[in-house]
């Protein structure tokens, strides 16, 4: 969620709840609607504690998913750079082809695939250059011991790269099911309604507004945090970006230049096939 939009929503929600509290306060009896304030505060403590524990646990799980996506993106980028090195030990007729397809894979991840993640419409689609790499490696027939060793290493790196991609993409799906969102909003609504019964015309408007406003701000910010971790890709502060893969693309260019190799990738800068 964009930070500015988040601030606007926070202000609106807080303003609405504070206005509701002040409106109820006008007709509220002195000492609030509860005749036993201690018992009412105890019940509110149970509600607030149960909600905070549930929300904190969910945020922890969502953060774990966020961190797995971040680590998956870092690992995937590192393995792609390593596979470029491994490709140079393959048979000469397939080495340049594998290198070019790896470059296209990296461009696709940092380009079209990342845009799909941002929009949430990647789904179960595979990376097309991952399929091309599989087709190419299937035709390789290693002869020497070096080529055989490079072939085995390549297959291990492919498994690791695919697992890292799964970790990266997993976070885009959102781990919080709909019923849980409904339960969180219902509980939050119950807490806000319960707060209205603490309206007391004997207290000042500022005090009553602070009472409701502080609760609203805390709960709303926690819900925003949950939304952020549940969808880690996209624009805005803190969102995951293809920084690692872009760094790998630069590293690939440096590696090829140092090795004196010239490879023409069969794709454009966004990873689309030419």
pLDDT given at position 226: 86
Please list the residues that pair with 273 across neighbouring strands: 267
Main-chain phi, psi angles of 89, to 5 degrees = -100, 5
pLDDT given at position 231: 79
Which carries the bigger pLDDT value, residue 128 or residue 235? 128
CA triple 93-97-100, angle to 5 deg: 150
Question: Measured between alpha carbons, how far is 95 from 261 in angstroms, rounded to an integer?
Answer: 11
Which carries the bigger pLDDT value, residue 32 or residue 75? 75
pTM attached to this predicted model = 0.78
| Residue 33 in domain | no
Least confident of 129-133, 139-143, 259-263: 259-263
Domain, as residue range, for 125: 67-173+241-274
Which carries the bigger pLDDT value, residue 233 or residue 91? 91
Which carries the bigger pLDDT value, residue 32 or residue 98? 98
Tens of pLDDT, residue by residue over 8-48, are 999 999 999 999 999 999 888 887 878 777 788 888 888 88
| Residue 131 in domain | yes
For the chain, what is the HEC assignment?
CCHHHHHHHHHHHHHHHHHHHHHHHCCCCCCCCCCCHHHHHHHHHHHHHHHHHHHHHHHHHHHHHHHHHHHHHHHHHHHHHHHHHHHCCCCHHHHHHHHHHHHHHHHHHHHHHHHHHHHCCCCCCCCHHHHHHHHHHHCCCCCCHHHHHHHHHHHHHHHHHHHHHHHHHHHHHCCCCHHHHHHHHHHHHHHHHHHHCCCCCCCCHHHHHHHHHHHHHHHHHHHHHHHHHHCCECCCCCCECCHHHHHHHHHHHHHHHHCCCCCCCCECCCCCEC
Judged against a pLDDT cut of 90, whether residue 270 lies above it is answered with no
Judged against a pLDDT cut of 80, whether residue 125 lies above it is answered with no
| Residue 144 in domain | yes
Counted domains in the chain: 1
pLDDT given at position 123: 62
Judged against a pLDDT cut of 90, whether residue 53 lies above it is answered with no
| Residue 79 in domain | yes
Judged against a pLDDT cut of 60, whether residue 51 lies above it is answered with yes
Which carries the bigger pLDDT value, residue 235 or residue 230? 230
| Residue 157 in domain | yes
Nearest to 83 by CA among 248, 264, 269, 273: 248
| Residue 233 in domain | no
Nearest to 24 by CA among 217, 204, 203, 198: 198
| Residue 73 in domain | yes
Tens of pLDDT, residue by residue over 142-187, are 889 999 999 999 999 999 999 999 888 876 666 788 888 898 899 9
Q: What is the mean pLDDT of residues 237-256?
A: 86
| Residue 156 in domain | yes
Q: State the chain's mean pLDDT as an integer.
A: 86
Q: What is the mean pLDDT of residues 255-273?
A: 84
Query: How many Cβ atoms from other residues are within 10 Å of residue 223's Cβ?
Result: 19
pLDDT band at 3 (very low <50, low <70, confident <90, very high): confident
């Amino acid at each position: 969620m964009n930070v500015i939009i988040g601030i606007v929503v926070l202000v609106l929600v807080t303003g609405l709840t504070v206005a509701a509290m002040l409106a109820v306060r006008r007709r509220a009896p002195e000492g609030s609607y509860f005749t036993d304030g201690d018992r009412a505060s105890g019940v509110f403590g149970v509600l607030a504690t149960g909600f905070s524990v549930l929300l904190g646990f969910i945020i922890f799980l969502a953060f774990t998913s966020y961190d797995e996506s971040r680590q998956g993106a870092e690992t995937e980028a590192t393995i792609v750079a390593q596979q470029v090195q491994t490709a140079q030990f393959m048979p000469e007729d397939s080495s340049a082809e594998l290198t070019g397809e790896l470059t296209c894979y990296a461009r696709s991840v940092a380009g079209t695939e990342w845009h799909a993640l941002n929009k949430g419409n990647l789904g179960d689609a595979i990376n097309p250059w991952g399929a091309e790499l599989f087709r190419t490696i299937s035709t390789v027939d290693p002869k020497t011991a070096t080529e055989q060793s490079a072939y085995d290493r390549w297959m291990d790196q492919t498994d690791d790269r695919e697992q890292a991609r799964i970790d990266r993409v997993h976070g885009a799906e959102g781990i919080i099911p709909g019923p849980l969102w409904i339960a969180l909003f219902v509980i939050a609504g119950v807490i806000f309604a319960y707060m209205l019964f603490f309206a007391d015309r004997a207290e000042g408007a500022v005090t009553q507004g602070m009472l409701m406003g502080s609760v609203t701000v805390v709960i709303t910010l926690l819900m925003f945090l949950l939304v952020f971790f549940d969808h880690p890709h996209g624009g805005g502060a803190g969102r995951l970006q293809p920084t690692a893969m872009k760094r790998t693309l630069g590293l690939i260019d440096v590696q090829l230049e140092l090795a004196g190799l010239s490879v023409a990738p069969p794709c454009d800068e966004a990873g689309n096939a030419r």
